[in-house]
């Protein structure tokens, strides 16, 4: 096995990150030209690309673990360089997206059966994942910005996919928010580059050597960057697009909330704070506290609004607003334990949220259930889906041994370590209570209330409660979320990996 | 073959084509695209020669400099010739099918090749009088081509275009008359050496700038452009927006940075930049409000030319390496716009042919039935907004960079506002590709129409966005002093 991997890494060479980006990009381009009726060809291409990408990521992971350096450089203009580079943080995000992409592809194939414009959908779907892994593997801010914009372009058609007036309006709103954000990020990056030179990501940051007279400019740039990234990360008050974007098909929502867009924003904030500014230098500048306050406010605000949503996907959307800010909160608290909590939540939130969206999609596709008030007794009709949903929801609340508990535990410890327990702890407690308040009634309805008639039953229960391609993805991701929590202390768990990253961020 | 011959061939090939197409009308289309293909080949050759052997200077007919026609090819000129030849080639391949079974067909090709001749001759002209001649040739052939639109609106626009063009040339002619009276020569290098900072020099500079600003439709002298560019046949619109206004811009660059260098103060540069900024805002806003696709594209050209002029005030204060980078970025922006805008007009032509109109609100079905054409519009849109990867993205990057380096942050605001407006007008269009209107019957579009548009759009985005690094080394090949 080791020998085979050696041969593989040798053959793929240093350009492996490039192949990983291109594996889905090229297939996406091909899929655009596949006839609408060639269902089998399209499915094969989709799955093949997803599996190949996952395998390549596996090889990359193996190589990085064994200390190999992967770097692809391409000069696009004087003093401007594209750089793909695999470090520990990017591996965390790349692995997450490659894994969840495979699962989501299976789900999407099942979900979109017989609907129109599938070639268009899967083409952009693949481009979207290429943008995400490109963003994860970006080795400097210039590259990051390019993939960040590309991600916006690739997701716009997915949000608009249904073509209804509502969908197009939501897509327009999405675009207005994200392009404005992207432009501000671009301005900030160019500005920073004119002060600090090449903006290669370095663990521990690169700006702390700059003279003191640049500090006020650096604060403004930080603000611009956080606004630019915060739009995608749905920081309040920049979150307006997210609940509206729920009109997109369920697999798109799942991808948007768990891996691609929202996570790209959060990942960007992690990158900027740790690998550009350096968390200790950011603390010196005094920008961490405001960031933490915004994150804390977002956490409570998102949870509170989620409480009042009857539409299931909207409730999940506001829950995302809240949950993603845990990552930002962990980033904004100075100290290794909080860092671990924030970074590991990048993975945990992804696993849990994608499960919830898959389950919500299953309810809608199978029984026509879109609202919480329609969910009475659904647990008996769809036990596996509801079980997955339950695990995801419990994880979101932070009940051990689910993955969400680990994140919150480390955030709490980190707050204690940094001496900010006084304001972080109430936020964590309030948010957990609110999470419980908006998730537990759903679980109660689903498991314990008697069933009414279903609004619109499309798929009859046969061997399984719904179509197999819809059923297994949430079951798998829920199991992963459970395993990530249960075996958090084993090697190669997300937690271990987050600790490895953290150890390198503090100089 | 003699290396300097490449300079002559890029001008004489299309001219020869124009003559042959007039004589053998039945073969006009074939002659047209073959000679454009050969010209494009020679343009590559020319760039290669300049790259390898340095600046090429040529005095036609053996007359000494100052008397005869002199040609001058440095890196910038060669790049512009290549840009023009590639766009002309793309449009020629497209035009074969576009003009099928139309009466204008026979009229189109001679005028079209004459336009290509005029463009290349203008880029390679070595003295100010040559420039005047090529400007007139360009203006006349361009307005005649506009008139091929044959509708009443097209004729009216063409006539106005002709008059405006003549007015611009007249202003230019007055300026060179002044210079000739003062210095006894029209050779660009000789004038640049002898030029004094005196009222006469100022008068000449301002007259030239006014004439060329009119020709390049710089705000507020842009009024003639939207009707002319939106009513012409598609390949003509493409060339007008991509190349003809760019030729006037090229002359402004040459005169500004080389001939009149002692006179160009930062104050004047800022005044130009301010006009550019207004062009960006006004052009983008008008594009956003345009009802028709081709009108949208035309207004977008007004805005894009504004960006080009916004480079001037920053170039005026930067020095050394940073200035060279910025200059290269400006040329890259011009190239990116040329390819993207020609692709957009060609795609618009396809939509117009199959939908019978180009009203943006009603294009939903057609855009869905023609996915490749829509894809071309999306790519061109990326380059017009300045999203990565595209030449315009890099251009804007350096523009922002220079604005921060020199502390002139107000250009940043203009750029942000312009980019947001551009996003809005591009996606107002693309949003219709997702609408629910019943898709019209899938029309059969000739590959020779979609492929050139696609190629140009790819060149503007992935080509220039990721592979333009050589541009800066090409541009490093300049003559010692002025070289017009």
With helix as H, strand as E and coil as C, how does A337-387 read?
HHHHHHHHHHHHHHHHHHHHHHHHHHHHHHHCCCEHHHCCCHHHHCHHHHH
> Which of B328, B394, B401 faces A193 most closely, judged by CB atoms?
B401
Q: Would you list the DSSP string of B68-94?
A: S-EEEE-HHHHHHHHHHHHHHHHHHHH
Assess contact for B77 and B188: CB atoms under 8 A.
no
- Choose among B324, B404, B427: nearest Cβ to A194: B404
**Which segments of B151-199 are extended strands (E)?**
none
Residues 153-182 on A with a CB inside 8 Å of B are 153, 156-157, 160-161, 163-165, 167-168, 171-172, 175-176, 179-180
| Cα separation, A425 vs A87, whole angstroms | 32
| Chain B contact set for A175 (CB, 8 A) | 423, 427
- CA nearest B473 in A: which residue? A78
To the nearest whole angstrom, how far is the Cα of B283 from the nearest Cα of chain A? 20
What is the pLDDT, as a whole number, of residue B438?
A: 59
pLDDT at B482: 39
pLDDT of residue A329: 93
Residue in B325, B387, B431 closest to A171 by CB = B431
pLDDT at A104 over 60: yes
Query: If you average pLDDT over residues A42-46, what whole number do you get?
Result: 90
Contact list, A176 vs chain B (CB under 8 Å): 424
Q: Does A145 sit within 8 Å of B325, measured CB to CB? A: no
At a CB cut-off of 8 Å and minimum separation 6, what does A1 contact? none
pTM confidence score? 0.93
* B416 interaction partners in chain A (CB closer than 8 Å): 183-184, 187
Residue A44 has a CB neighbour count (10 Å cut-off) of: 12
Contacts A80 to B, Cβ<8 Å: 394, 397
- Asked if A459 contacts A364 with a C-beta cutoff of 8 angstroms, the reply is no
pLDDT at A216 over 50: yes
Alpha-carbon distances of B349 from B215, B343, B361, B424, rounded to whole Å:
24, 10, 16, 22
Task: Give dist(CA B183, CA A333) in Å, integer.
Answer: 72
pLDDT of amino acid B440: 57
Query: Nearest-CA distance from B383 to chain A in Å?
Result: 13
List the beta bridge partners of residue A82.
A74
Q: Which helix (H) or strand (E) is A76 found in, with range?
A: strand A71-77
CA distances A248 to A124, A161, A263, A313, A365, Å, are: 13, 7, 17, 10, 14
Instruction: Identify which has the larger pLDDT, B436 or A67.
Output: A67
More confident residue, B425 or A420: B425
Give the 3-state secondary structure of residue A163.
coil
**B436 to A163: CB separation less than 8 angstroms, yes or no:** yes
3-state secondary structure of A77: strand
DSSP H/E element including A85: strand A80-85
Q: Which residues of B touch A78 (CB under 8 A)?
A: 321, 324-325, 328, 469, 472
Interface of A with B in 310-329 (CB under 8 A): none
The backbone torsions φ and ψ at residue A77, rounded to the nearest 5 degrees and listed phi first, read -165, 165
ipTM of the complex: 0.91
- Residue A85: left if φ>0, alpha if ψ -120 to 50, beta else—which one? beta
Q: Kindly determine whether residue A194 and residue B405, on different chains, have CB atoms separated by under 8 Å.
A: yes
Could you read off the pLDDT tens digit of each residue along chain B, which spans 484 residues? 577 788 889 999 999 999 999 998 888 888 998 999 999 999 999 999 998 888 888 877 666 666 677 888 899 999 999 999 999 999 999 998 888 656 677 789 999 999 999 999 999 988 888 899 999 999 999 999 998 877 888 888 899 999 999 999 999 999 999 999 988 888 888 888 888 888 888 999 999 999 999 999 998 888 888 888 888 889 999 999 999 999 999 999 999 988 888 888 889 999 999 999 999 999 999 999 999 999 999 999 999 999 999 999 999 888 888 899 999 999 999 999 999 999 999 999 998 888 888 888 888 877 888 888 989 999 999 999 999 899 999 999 999 999 999 999 899 999 999 999 999 999 988 888 887 665 556 667 778 888 999 999 999 999 999 988 999 998 888 764 433 4
Q: Given an 8 Å threshold on Cβ–Cβ distance, is B434 in contact with A157?
A: yes
Indicate yes or no: CB of B420 within 8 angstroms of CB of A180.
yes
Chain B neighbors of A183, CB-CB under 8 A: 416, 419-420
Q: State residue B228's pLDDT score.
A: 86
How many CB atoms lie under 10 A from the CB of residue A311?
Answer: 15
- Structure token digits, residue B17: 């084509």
Minimum CA–CA partner of B406 in chain A: A194
Mean pLDDT of A231-251: 89
CB A273 within 8 A of CB A202: no
Whether residue A298 has pLDDT greater than 90: yes
Size of interface A-B (CB pairs under 8 A): 86
- Of A197, A167, A109, A124, which Cα lies nearest the Cα of A469? A109
**H/E run at residue B298:** helix B293-317
Contacts of B466 in chain A (CB under 8 A): 74, 76, 82
- Which of B288, B388, B475 to probe the A interface (max A CBs under 10 A)? B388
Q: Which of residues 384-423 of B touch A (CB under 8 A)?
A: 387-389, 393-394, 397-398, 400-401, 404-405, 412, 416, 419-420, 423
Question: A171, B434: Cβ pair inside 8 Å?
Answer: yes
* Chain A contact set for B434 (CB, 8 A): 157, 160-161, 163, 167-168, 171
CA distance A429 to chain B (A): 41
């Amino acid at each position: 096995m080791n020998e085979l991997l050696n041969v593989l890494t040798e053959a793929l060479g240093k350009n492996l990150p490039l192949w990983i980006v291109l594996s889905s990009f090229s297939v996406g381009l091909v899929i655009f030209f596949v006839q609408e009726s060639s269902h089998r060809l399209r499915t094969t291409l989709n799955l093949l690309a997803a599996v190949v990408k996952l395998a390549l990521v596996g090889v990359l992971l193996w190589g990085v673990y064994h200390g190999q350096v992967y770097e692809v450089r391409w000069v696009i203009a004087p003093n401007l360089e594209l750089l793909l580079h695999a470090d520990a943080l990017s591996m965390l995000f790349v692995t997450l997206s490659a894994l969840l992409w495979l699962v989501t592809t299976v789900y999407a194939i099942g979900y979109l059966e017989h609907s129109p414009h599938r070639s268009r959908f899967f083409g952009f779907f693949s481009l979207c994942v290429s943008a995400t892994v490109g963003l994860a593997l970006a080795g400097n801010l210039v590259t990051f910005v390019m993939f960040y914009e590309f991600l916006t372009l690739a997701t716009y058609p997915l949000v608009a996919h249904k073509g209804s007036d509502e969908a197009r309006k939501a897509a327009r709103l999405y675009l207005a928010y994200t392009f404005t954000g992207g432009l501000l990020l671009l301005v900030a990056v160019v500005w920073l580059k004119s002060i600090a030179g090449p903006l290669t990501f370095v663990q521990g940051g690169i700006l702390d050597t700059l003279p003191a007279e640049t500090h006020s400019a650096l604060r403004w740039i930080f603000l611009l960057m956080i606004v630019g990234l915060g739009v995608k990360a749905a920081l309040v008050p920049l979150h307006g697009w997210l609940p509206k974007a729920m009109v997109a098909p369920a697999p798109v929502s799942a991808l948007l909330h768990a891996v691609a867009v929202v996570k790209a924003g959060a990942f960007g904030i992690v990158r900027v704070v740790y690998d550009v500014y350096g968390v200790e230098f950011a603390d010196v500048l005094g920008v961490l506290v405001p960031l933490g306050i915004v994150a804390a406010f977002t956490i409570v605000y998102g949870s509170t609004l989620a409480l009042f949503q009857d539409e299931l996907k909207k409730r999940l959307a506001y829950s995302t607003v809240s949950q993603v800010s845990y990552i930002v909160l962990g980033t904004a608290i100075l100290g290794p334990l909080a860092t671990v909590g924030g970074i590991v939540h990048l993975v945990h939130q992804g696993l849990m949220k994608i499960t919830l969206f898959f389950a919500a999609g299953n309810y809608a596709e199978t029984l026509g259930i879109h609202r919480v008030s329609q969910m009475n007794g659904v647990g008996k009709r769809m036990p596996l889906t509801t079980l997955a949903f339950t695990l995801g929801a419990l994880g979101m609340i932070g009940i051990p041994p689910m993955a969400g508990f680990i994140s919150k535990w480390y955030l709490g410890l980190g707050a204690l370590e940094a001496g900010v327990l006084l304001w972080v702890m109430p936020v964590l407690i309030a948010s957990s209570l609110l999470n419980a308040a908006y998730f537990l009634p759903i679980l109660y309805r689903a498991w314990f209330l008697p069933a009414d008639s279903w609004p619109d039953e499309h798929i009859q229960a046969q061997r399984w409660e719904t179509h197999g391609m819809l059923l297994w993805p949430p079951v798998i991701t829920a199991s992963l979320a459970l395993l990530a929590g249960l075996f958090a202390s084993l090697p190669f768990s997300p937690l271990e990996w987050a600790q490895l990253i953290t150890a390198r961020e503090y100089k | 073959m003699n290396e300097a011959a490449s300079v002559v061939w890029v001008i004489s090939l299309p001219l020869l084509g124009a003559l042959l197409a007039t004589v053998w009308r039945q073969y006009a289309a074939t002659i047209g695209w073959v000679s454009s293909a050969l010209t494009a080949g020679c343009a590559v050759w020319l760039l290669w020669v300049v790259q390898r052997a340095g600046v090429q200077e040529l005095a036609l007919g053996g007359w000494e400099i100052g008397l005869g026609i002199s040609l001058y090819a440095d890196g910038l000129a060669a790049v512009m010739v290549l840009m023009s030849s590639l766009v002309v080639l793309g449009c020629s391949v497209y035009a074969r099918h576009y003009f099928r079974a139309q009466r204008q067909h026979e009229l189109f090709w001679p005028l079209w090749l004459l336009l290509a001749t005029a463009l290349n001759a203008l880029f390679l002209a070595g003295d100010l009088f040559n420039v005047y001649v090529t400007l007139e040739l360009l203006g006349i052939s361009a307005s005649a081509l506009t008139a091929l639109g044959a509708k009443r609106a097209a004729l009216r626009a063409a006539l106005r275009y002709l008059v405006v063009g003549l007015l611009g040339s007249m202003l230019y002619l007055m300026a060179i008359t002044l210079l000739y009276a003062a210095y006894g020569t029209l050779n660009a290098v000789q004038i640049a050496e002898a030029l004094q900072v005196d009222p006469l020099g100022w008068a000449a500079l301002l007259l030239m700038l006014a004439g060329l600003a009119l020709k390049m439709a710089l705000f507020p002298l842009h009024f003639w452009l939207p009707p002319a560019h939106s009513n012409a046949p598609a390949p003509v619109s493409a060339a007008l927006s991509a190349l003809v206004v760019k030729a006037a811009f090229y002359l402004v660059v040459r005169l500004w940075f080389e001939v009149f260098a002692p006179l160009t103060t930062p104050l004047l540069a800022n005044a130009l930049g301010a006009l550019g900024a207004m062009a960006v805002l006004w052009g983008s806003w008008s594009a956003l409000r345009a009802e028709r696709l081709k009108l949208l594209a035309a207004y977008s050209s007004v805005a894009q030319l504004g960006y080009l002029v916004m480079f001037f005030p920053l170039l005026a204060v930067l020095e050394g390496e940073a200035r060279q980078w910025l200059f290269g970025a400006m040329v890259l922006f011009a190239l990116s716009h040329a390819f993207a805008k020609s692709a957009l007009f060609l795609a618009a032509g396809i939509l117009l042919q199959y939908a019978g109109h180009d009203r943006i609100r009603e294009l939903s079905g057609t855009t869905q039935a023609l996915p490749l054409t829509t894809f071309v519009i999306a790519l061109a849109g990326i380059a017009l907004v300045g999203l990565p990867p595209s030449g315009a993205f890099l251009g804007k990057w350096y523009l922002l960079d220079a604005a921060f380096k020199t502390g002139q942050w107000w250009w940043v605001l203009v750029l942000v506002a312009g980019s947001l407006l551009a996003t809005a007008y591009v996606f107002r269009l693309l949003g219709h590709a997702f609408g629910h209107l019943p898709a019209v019957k899938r029309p059969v579009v000739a590959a020779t129409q979609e492929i050139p548009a696609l190629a140009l759009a790819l060149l503007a985005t992935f080509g220039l966005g990721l592979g333009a690094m050589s541009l800066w080394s090409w541009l490093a090949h300049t003559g010692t002093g002025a070289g017009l």
